[in-house]
Chain A
Amino acid sequence: MKKLFATLLVLSTLNIAHAQLTPFYKSYNWSENIDKMNILKDTLIDEEVLVLKDYASNEFSYPDDKQNTLTQYVLTHKAYLLRTNNAIEDFNKVYLSFDNSSEILKTKARVITPSNKIIELDSTKILTAVDEETNVQYKYFAFEGIEVGSIVEYLYVIKKRPYYEGSYVRIQSEYPIFNLDFHVITPNNLIFKFKTYNNTDSISNDTLANGKWDFNIKYDYIPSLKYENNAAYQSKLMALVYKLDRNTYGGTRDISSYSTLIQNMYDFLHYNEDKNKKTVEKFLKQMKFKASKTTEEDILFIEDYLKKNIYINENNGSQELKSIDFITSNKLASELGILKLYAQIFAALEIEMELVFSGNRLSKKFDSEYEATTFLEDYLIYFPSINKYMAPTNLASRVGLPTFTLTHNYGLFIKEVALGGFKTGLGEIKFIDPVPYTENTDKMYIDVSFNEENITNQKIFFNRQMSGYYAKDLQPFYYLITGKDKTELNKQLFTNINSELEPENIVVKNENAADLGKKPFIIEAEFETDVFIEKAADKVIFEIGNLIGPQTEIYDSLERKLPVELNYTKYYYREIKVKIPKNYKIVNLDDLNIENYFINNGDTSMAFTSKYTVKDNELVVVCEEYYKNIEIPVKHYQEYRKIINSAADFNKIKLILEPN
């Protein structure tokens, strides 16, 4: 007892100085007592997997007491109860990745069988893999001895260069979580700022025995959030974000604000711009650039050329892939390299541009009120003179039709300003508007006639026009496909209506990559077929609804929890003209009338309508369907469902033709 007390005394006098040398992870271990996990074994019996422990701590530490070698220790400790064979297949292998400036200090893994036998994994079974291209290393292993009802548990510690400019942590998942424990441990000269999302409690702050601060959040139980279609699921999970704001030693403030990044990015984009001017001009000549009537056409020309000729290697961070000289002579670039090239080309052509940072809104919403690099995941280039965006590294886009996950989201815009004779970057957070529904359209113009000699045989002329996002996987890549593959692709645009259709005389228009977002991709074909006909004695049943292809039907199963978030706004138009055969009449034309609107705040935000007219033995059916808004709140879910199902209802319409 006396000895223990003396030890404690010594420890406390060494206090801060010593404590900096002993990071928290060293004294951390999993419990030998597994009772706390075992009592949870019979809860929520319908769940395949229970997360019995989810512990994570990010400790920032000065290991040798010098203020300039801050290190981060990330300690992760998880335990899962696996109740089915499927759960075992999902969790029996673990892969830990880290880059070559990091080090794994400790890895432990064990299996606790249903009879409470503990099988610890031998450290020789923890394997290593290296990827020289990305400089990522992996430690991976397979748990040994798992049976149904086992608990798998592992913990590992990574020592790394500290990252503190904004980390987004999701604390909820598709599995129920027990004993959630999240910590950020810091020396008390470092002040971190936190924010929580989706009804997460706020962070608590405790002071540890060694004087360090322990920012933490704890939950005994976090219910699972089940995945729902057409929702921004990942962005709805409970989460928190944290960043380093101030260092009281030295008095630096706003450490993680965007200002340094804005400056650095601006400097990077325009690095050696004057020296590179000749190379850029030579490159412009090589691509046969000629100034056209509008700025937009100039931008499109450059974009089209770069996207077709420069191979972007996203994973490689090497210096040469960022050098204008190397890129233009090898046609290989990294992501940052291509941004620099765009910036210097537009500077040479005096086209004003702003680099925009944003992220995938389906996964995480850009927070316009909290500056953190975690929100800066992807790039756009904004052109103020035409008010349009370009996605520089997305091959399935052209100026005016940027990556849709980045739209309807906020972004950080970096514009160039001149202060005295000196140019620099200035940042502003603005909303990136989504492309309106009138630009994302899928239109069909269908002409149908019957073979008078063989009434079950129809001749159909089909013209399909897709614009905006509907053409994003067609127009930019069409030039790449040749021969048999091209014929296959063309046919597929019809065989996805019915796999038995054999399109003939296929004509394609506006198939150039530069047409994306400007002109609709048009494909037309003819076929002779009987797939839309059913026979009933002397009557003929025409499955007119099947002409538009299969439609989604939303079943009324479980109650919707998350709001609908569409990828993009959309508009569908179908015009079907049918030459009614001589000697026949259609007896159920009124089945063709469908009208469903949803009016929100005086505006019709979504609808499905179909109407018919008959004149001179020609039946004309016109259908319109549109969704003007990206987000549809839960309270309007049934209305949304009704509109979607109306299109499905149209798809089922069968016209009965009776002999006169």
Chain B
Amino acid sequence: MKKHYTLLLTLVFSLITIIAQDHSEELNFFHEKYPNENLVIISHVEEIDISKSKNGLQITIKFNEEKLYLQDNANLFSEEKISGSSFHKLSEIKASSLIFNGKNYKEQKINNFNEKDKLDNAIFHDDVKEISFYYPNLNKGSKSNLSYTTSITDPRFLTSFFFQEYYPINEVTYKMTVDKDINIGFKEFNTDNFKIEHTVEEKKNKKIYTWKSTHVPKTESESNAPSFFHSIPHITPYIESYSENGQTIPILGSTKKLYDWYYSLTKDFYEKNDTIPEIKSLIDSLIADINSDEEKLKVIYYWVQENIKYVAFESGLGGFIPRSASSVYNKRFGDCKDNSSILKEMLEYAGLNTYLTWVGTRRLPYSYSQISTPVVDNHMINTCIIDSNFYYLDATGKYATIDMIASFIQDKEVLIGIDVDSFIVKKLPITNAERNYFNDTVALELNNLDLVGNGKYTVNGYPKIKIFNHLETLKDDNIKKFYTINLTKGNNKFIINSFVETNKFDYDKPFELSYDFSVASYATLTDNHLYINLNLHKDFIPKTIKKDRTHAIEQDYCYKKSYYYKLKIPEQYEVEYIPENVHVNTKDFSFNLTYKVEGEYIIYESSFKEESLLIEKNQFLKWNKFIQQVQSASKEVVVLKHK
């Protein structure tokens, strides 16, 4: 029985092979395995060699990747780009297309490589060079092959090994060959439930570490998901030390070692500097009549935010070394390190203890205890300590108050540089939802079927900062359009007739907008009944989370929205029906809605609070149930009857 079965299979298989002549077996195999993917990475190999040389350590990475294109849209992937910089130098670039001709793959080598200096919006000037080229003749079943070598010029800049991409990977291999007397450390991230084969070999005076994974599914690209560092399995290597001439040269491996290196790059700021007279007279005039330290801090912090623009020059070590305060003052621009540099000098001149502070934004999931290499952080701010109160100051943006940290560093660790020997690592809090609020209080009336009213909208915290940043870019009629879109009540027939702005662009006070508006034909009248849906502001209702979502959902900040509407019941009408109240309160979110009739008014009060920065996958079901309740409540209509 078995024999016949095998024979049948062979027959069937050879029949399939005969029919499928146009495509290689490889394509058939992978197309069946990944029918909905555009391409599969057949193999991704990086071989890193770390050895001692005359000038310290020599680190070279040989990169090779082969891709197989599975669909008719293969030629869309013709263009390939690779980047290098002064710390990561590219060489020996080879690329080719492999076209299947019915029997085997024929190679078409690429000879034309174009180099480009990248001009970027975010970074004004750096030393990143991009090399681009085109794979010719790509179609379904073709492959592409790319290989190049990168030399890393500073041992601290070892890059991580990533075991997953936005395309499925058939096989990914990292091989690290290290001279025996170089001490290497590794840290794994997101590798629970992920299979990596790991071997360590010793050959002569080298140690060879290999990691390999096969059949790796792709990671999904989803909106509002935390950065891929949070989910993609990866290993971060670092060089702890190496011995040379009997001496041990330390590189990385502890927060102290990282800090020592950071300090060496910035030590100028820990030594006495001559503050230029212009800065002195500026500070003198800013703090002239101020006695309290907090007030001094405020006025200087606000000045730097307002007057130093963000323009980033990040060439080579310019990406790590702050420029002098006088230079930043004269140019009136700088990046995060420059902003920190000038703020520190100004605050210290005013007698306030201020320290350069490194931090990784929320894009990076690491803490300093987990990994202490330059991968852990990507931003610099200041810490000012007044009477053992810590104030974290980021002068790169605007409208930040001294008590509120930037939203993109909430819940992250900071490395505060105190002096040559000491530093402090502290964990930043998550700003409370009550601090970030939107409040809309409105008096409503019905003018026939038109809903008219006047309201006061108040906003504070992070949402206020966001609104101010946007308002700065608007002029004339676009300001009214912006308010109209954001305050829309009911439907898009909502028109603002006039408005008054209070505390516009004020750092400390909440922003207030008084406005009067109308919504034409909002109410429906039929058969002596008036129907009005008082859930005028639908923007607070979150969207249902899709069932097949794979990543958590990240919020910029926790916030609260509350609405208070007082509708005057038109004469000759009485209330026939008001909807039920709704109360849902959990630790992550809450929603409260009440209707009350008070004399000739109907009072509608609703509030929505979101209190967590992250909605994990295991919360999706609970969250969707909650959204259902909110949506259902928003569909309830008030009914008035003619007396």
C-alpha spacing A499/B223, complex, angstroms: 15
| Contacting pair B114 A133 (CB below 8 A) | yes
Q: How far is the CA of A318 from the CA of B133 in the complex (A)?
A: 13
Any chain A CB within 8 A of the CB of B533? yes
16 additional A-B residue pairs with CB within 8 Å, beyond A133-B116, A308-B72, A648-B493: A48-B475, A85-B309, A92-B333, A129-B119, A132-B114, A329-B136, A331-B136, A332-B134, A480-B71, A482-B37, A500-B631, A535-B579, A535-B637, A587-B526, A649-B521, A656-B526
Chain B residues proximal to chain A, CB less than 8 Å: 35-38, 71-73, 75-76, 78-79, 108, 112, 114-119, 124-125, 132, 134, 136-139, 220, 306-307, 309, 311, 330-333, 398, 472-473, 475-477, 480-481, 484, 491-493, 495, 521, 524, 526-527, 529, 531, 533, 543-544, 548, 576-577, 579, 631-632, 635-639
Pick from A128, A499, A541: contact of B524, CB under 8 Å: A541
Chain B CB within 8 A of A530 CB: yes
Interface range for A: 35 or more
Q: How far is the CB of B126 from chain A (nearest CB, A)?
A: 11
| Residues of A contacting B75 in the complex (Cβ-Cβ under 8 angstroms) | 308-311, 331
- On chain B, the residues within 8 Å of A537 by CB distance are 576-577, 639
Bound-state CA distance A48–B478 (Å) is 14
Contacting pair A656 B493 (CB below 8 A): no
Give A537 to B529 CA distance when docked, in angstroms: 12
A93 to B311, CA, bound (A): 9
Instruction: State A226–B477 Cα separation when bound (angstroms).
Output: 10
Q: How far is the CB of B532 from chain A (nearest CB, A)?
A: 9
Please give, as numbers and ranges, the residues of chain A lying within 8 Å of B79 by CB-CB distance.
Answer: 311, 313
A536 touches B639 (CB 8 A): yes
Contact with B along A110-125 (1 / 0, CB 8 A): 0000000001000000
Question: Is the Cβ of B116 less than 8 Å from the Cβ of A132?
Answer: yes
In whole angstroms, how far apart are the Cα atoms of A47 and B73 in the complex? 49
B124 touches A555 (CB 8 A): no
Question: CB < 8 Å: which of B72, B115, B475, B476 contacts A479?
Answer: B72
Task: Using A144-B332, A480-B76, A652-B491 as known contacts, say yes or no to A331 and B137 having CB atoms under 8 A apart.
Answer: yes
Taken together as a complex, chains A and B put the C-alpha atoms of A138 and B636 apart, in Å, by: 60
Contact among B72, B309, B632 with A146 in the assembled complex (CB-CB below 8 Å): B309
Q: Beyond A86-B472, A145-B330, A656-B526, is A129–B117 a contact (Cβ under 8 Å)?
A: yes
Chain B residues with CB below 8 A from A146, complex form: 309, 332-333
Choose among A86, A133, A142, A649 the residue that contacts B473 (Cβ–Cβ < 8 A).
A86
Given A129-B117, A331-B138, A535 and B636 contact (CB-CB distance below 8 Å): yes
Closest to B525 in A: A588
How far does the Cβ of B170 sit from chain A's closest Cβ, in whole Å? Answer: 18
**Nearest A-chain residue to B544, judged by Cβ:** A500
Shortest A561–chain B CB gap in Å is 12
Complex: chain B residue closest to A146, CB-CB: B332
The chain B residue with its CB closest to the CB of A491 is: B546
CA distance A649 to B520 in the complex (A): 10
Given A310-B75, A541-B524: A95 in contact with B139 (beta carbons within 8 A): no
Q: Are A144 and B472 in contact (CB under 8 A)?
A: no
CB-defined contacts of A131 to chain B, threshold 8 Å: 114, 116-117
A558 and B134 form a contact (CB under 8 A): no
Nearest A residue to B519, CB-CB: A652
Q: With A and B bound together, what is the CA distance between A147 and B308 in angstroms?
A: 9
20 sampled A-B residue pairs with Cβ under 8 A: A86-B473, A129-B119, A130-B116, A130-B117, A138-B119, A144-B332, A146-B309, A226-B476, A308-B72, A311-B76, A331-B75, A331-B137, A331-B139, A332-B137, A537-B577, A539-B639, A557-B477, A648-B493, A652-B491, A656-B531
- Chain A residues within 8 Å of B124, by CB: 93, 140, 142
Q: How far is the CA of A24 from the CA of B17 in the complex (A)?
A: 76
Q: Which of A534-570 contact B (CB under 8 A)?
A: 534-537, 539, 541, 550-551, 553, 555, 557-558
Contact B125 A130 (CB under 8 A): no
With most chain B CB atoms within 10 A of its CB, the pick from A84, A86, A311, A530 is: A311
For A85, the chain B residues whose CB sits under 8 A away are 306, 309, 398, 472
Query: CA A553 – CA B492 in complex, angstroms?
Result: 7
Chain A 68-108, CB-CB to B under 8 Å as 1, else 0, gives 00000000000000001110110011010000000000000
- List of A residues within 8 angstroms of B220 by Cβ: 484
Kindly identify, within residues 325 to 344 of chain A, every residue whose CB is under 8 Å from any CB belonging to chain B.
Answer: 329-332
A658: CB under 8 A from chain B?
yes
Instruction: Kindly state whether residue A483 has any CB partner on chain B within 8 Å.
Output: yes
Q: Which residues of B contact A506 (CB under 8 A)?
A: none
User: When chains A and B are docked, how far (Å) is the Cα of A554 from the Cα of B484?
Assistant: 12
Q: How far is the CA of A329 from the CA of B491 in the complex (A)?
A: 57
Q: Which residues between 443 and 502 of chain A lie within 8 Å of chain B, taking CB atoms?
A: 456, 479-480, 482-484, 486, 499-500
Give min CB distance, B539 to chain A, whole Å.
12
Give Cα distance in the complex from A500 to B624, angstroms. Answer: 12
B112: chain A residues at CB < 8 Å are 318
The interface residues of chain A lying within 8 Å CB-to-CB of B527 are 587, 656, 658
Q: Is the CB of A313 within 8 A of B639?
A: no
A residues 390-432 touching B (CB-CB < 8 Å)? none
Contact of A507 with B by CB under 8 A: no
A226 to B473, CA, bound (A): 15
Instruction: Say whether B635 contacts A533, CB under 8 Å.
Output: yes
B73 and A555 contact, CB distance less than 8 A: no
Q: Are A145 and B332 in contact (CB under 8 A)?
A: yes
Residues of A within 8 A of B134 (CB): 311, 313, 332
Chain A residue contacts of B307, Cβ below 8 A: 147
